[in-house]
Amino acid sequence: MQPWPGRSYPLGATFDGTGTNFALFSELAEYVELCLFDEAGDETRVRLEEVDGFVHHGFLLGVGPGQRYGYRVHGPYDPATGARCNPHKLLIDPYAKAIGGELDWDPALFAYDLDRPEERNDDDSAGHVPFSLVVNPFFDWANDRQPRTPYNETVIYEAHVKGLTQTHPDIPESLRGTYAGIAHPAIVAHLKSLGVTAIELLPVHQFITDHYLSEKGLTNYWGYNTIGFFAPHDAYASRPGRQVEEFKGMVRALHEADIEVILDVVYNHTAEGNHLGPTLSMRGIDNCAYYRLVEDDEQHYMDYTGTGNSLNVRSPQTLQLIMDSLRYWVTEMHVDGFRFDLAATLAREFYDVDKLATFFELVQQDPVVSQVKLIAEPWDVGPGGYQVGGFPPQWTEWNGLYRDTVRDFWRGEPATLGEFASRITGSSDLYQDNGRRPYASINFVTAHDGFTLTDLVSYNDKHNEANGEEGRDGADDNRSWNCGVEGPTDDAEVLALRYRQRRNLLATMLLSQGVPMVVHGDELGRTQGGNNNAYCQDNEIAWVDWHLDEDETDLLHFTSSLTAFRHRHPVFRRRRFFQGKPIRKADELRDIAWFTPSGEEMKEQNWDDAFGRSIAVFLNGDAIADRDLRGVRITDDSFLLALNAHHEDIEFTLPDGDYGATWTVVVDTATGAVEQPGGDMFDAGAVLNVSARSLVALQRVMS
């Protein structure tokens, strides 16, 4: 088979209706062989003779969608200098749009003994690694459009494709655990009823289960082990080889419901691991270009991720790979944003984290990527890696300080009032100085990594026995509280307190300034039995249980009602930070005011009070300081939030009549009430009893 010259761009396999263009970058390669496989697994090798700018390319007439292929790269093998080419390794195309087949952990996959490089050609890995697949780029998107929900109106739902759908009784068994399962009307209806505007999917880039887990009979359930940055994970397709089509169908169905799709992406490392890991793709194509190697010891890898390697964001080829991947998912797959795992790693051009790194400059000027939602997990495991508040203005961040502070407040930790006040009003101390808005803060109290909401109030300690690591894995600092009993209990008082604490945490998050993120199943009372690191549990431990008892049904109703309440009231989702003063000359009241339980305005010494477990805040709906798209000034009702994290009831005195003559209770986490008719009414200066460990929201009654 003789290839035509073809083109050096775009990289990857590109079908045009008559044939497929193949293009692979490798500066190290002496030459590259394209390997085509038929249904029986027989291999045909085609040498790519054309090379432009270190891109080896060729066009094959008649080769189309479904064709299985890989590469063999002929070149130097000298690990001491970072070179690891080996034509006996069948390699996955880094730009493959689809990948299929099982990974067989044969010894042929692993790096060879560095003291015996002459053995590098003993084995052939064909048949052990997945194949790259040529895909059909054509798809009927109909009238698909991106919802483009403003950040301040966004409610994010973090979910796992399989975990969310695997046990849902209304989804056909053949669709459970798949993209088609997410697109099923039962899931879409649940998301809509919950008030979700964006679903943030745990990694759907093609990933593998690493050898360590495979030997233990476990799996890389979360998917943070990427091997293909362009390919939707094939195991999430209900029909083999249809993963691209099904993913697009899922996006189209969610967009029809005005729900955005955000992908959790892992551009900080790959599944090839450290110097002893498997050679699957980029290691054997151009190791020095794609990975950060240790200076003066290039057989080893820099590791800012705890996974064995870090991508080389100093390399133009790696930066091109990342940016091409991001653009592909936006333009071809129609996704609406990205959450970047361990994003601080992408800012390490040299050693330190640098928010002015080239990657962020590329994102800033890119006309496609810059226009979607960009969310950073603002830390990695390297020195100085905790960078909450340190990302550029275009970015939002998972606010780890919000999570920690809110957890501490509701479990009764003293002296957190000042920081708590800052966190629930948008964390201006983190985001205001560099021109960002309150919605730069992605507010969460739980995430996939850690306790579920139910476990957060049911366990003091992690219980990760099922992971087989004797409890060494998972975080030890959970800031959780079991409410008096570790794990399951029949104690009615303990259970009542746990139910109230769940409502407290949800209500705080949904009434805070910023963007709330709910984790799938938290609204249903999902438990992992105290496992705070279910990354390897592809089973009932990590799947959402859709069979609800009365208490779980009540929690779902409370969450949905509270989300709807947030959507109705822009005072809880402001676009600008509070100023602590009147917004206009005609205004008599400040946009925000803080009060002690006695009804007196907070003074400096009150913020430092070691007791620090109760506070009230007035939110002025007449002073939102924003306008809608037509230029009309946005106003809302005014509210008073009374928060009591103390273990006893506390009487709150309502502010004087300047703030409001009459108030009505609209949210009470002690009872689970949200805007129920006939709520209790209180006059200015009246005393309101706020139950132990509960939150009450009052709405000003207009005369």
User: Tokens in use for 269?
Assistant: 């490392």
Q: Which stretch of DSSP H or E encloses residue 68?
A: strand 68-74
Phi, psi dihedrals of residue 110, rounded to the nearest 5°? -85, 160
List alpha helices for 38-152, DSSP H: none
Least Cα distance to 204 among 174, 238, 234 occurs for 234
Could you tell me if 427 and 398 are in contact, meaning their C-beta atoms sit under 8 angstroms apart?
A: no
**pLDDT tens across 14-43, in order?**
999 999 999 999 999 999 999 999 999 999
Query: Rounded distance, CA 594 to CA 638, Å?
Result: 14
pLDDT at 612: 78
Least Cα distance to 417 among 429, 405, 425 occurs for 405
Least Cα distance to 503 among 522, 485, 520 occurs for 522
For the chain, which domains are there?
12-134 (2.60.40.10), 155-571 (3.20.20.80), 580-701 (2.60.40.1180)
| Residues 6+ positions from 457 with CB-CB distance below 8 Å | 480, 481, 482, 483, 497, 498, 501, 502, 505
| Residues 6+ positions from 121 with CB-CB distance below 8 Å | 86, 87, 88
**pLDDT tens across 455-482, in order?**
999 999 999 999 999 999 999 999 999 9
Q: Where are the beta strands (DSSP E) in 237-347?
A: 260-265, 293-294, 297-301, 337-340
User: Tokens in use for 657?
Assistant: 């009549």
Least Cα distance to 695 among 446, 502, 459 occurs for 502
Cα atoms in the 13 Å half-sphere on the side-chain side of 474? 24
Q: Which residues are catalytic?
A: 341, 377
Query: Rounded distance, CA 395 to CA 440, Å?
Result: 7
Least Cα distance to 519 among 440, 430, 456, 462 occurs for 456
Percent above pLDDT 70 for the chain: 96
Strand, coil or helix: what is 117?
helix
Q: Is the dihedral of CA 517, 522, 527, 530 positive or negative?
A: positive
Query: Rounded distance, CA 684 to CA 653, Å?
Result: 8
- Residue 641 pairs in a beta bridge with 617, 697
Q: Is the dihedral of CA 553, 197, 266, 175 positive or negative?
A: positive
**pLDDT tens across 614-633, in order?**
999 999 999 988 888 788 88
Query: Rounded distance, CA 199 to CA 33, Å?
Result: 41
The conformation of residue 634, written as its DSSP 8-state character, comes to P
Question: What strand order describes the sheet that includes 43-48?
Answer: 43-48, 31-37, 68-74, 131-133, 98-100
Strand, coil or helix: what is 212?
helix
- Which whole-number Å values give the CA distances from 315 to 27, 83, 300, 467, 669, in the listed order? 12, 15, 17, 37, 52
Instruction: Tell me: pLDDT of 586 over 80.
Output: no
Mean pLDDT across 53-59: 98
Buried b (16+ CB within 10 A) or exposed e, 5-21: ebbbeebbbbbeeebbb
Instruction: Tell me: pLDDT of 118 over 80.
Output: no
Cα-based angle 412, 413, 415 (whole degrees, multiple of 5): 120
Q: Which stretch of DSSP H or E encloses residue 331?
A: helix 316-331
User: Tokens in use for 699?
Assistant: 């709405």
Query: Rounded distance, CA 378 to CA 391, Å?
Result: 7
What's the pTM?
A: 0.96
Query: Rounded distance, CA 542 to CA 550, Å?
Result: 22
Which of 116-125, 165-174, 346-355, 556-565 shows the lowest per-residue confidence on average (mean pLDDT)? 116-125
Mean pLDDT across 222-247: 97
Whole-angstrom Cα Rg for the chain: 27
pLDDT at 120: 52
Query: Rounded distance, CA 417 to CA 400, Å?
Result: 17
Mean pLDDT across 186-209: 98
Instruction: Tell me: pLDDT of 385 over 60.
Output: yes
Strand, coil or helix: what is 497?
helix
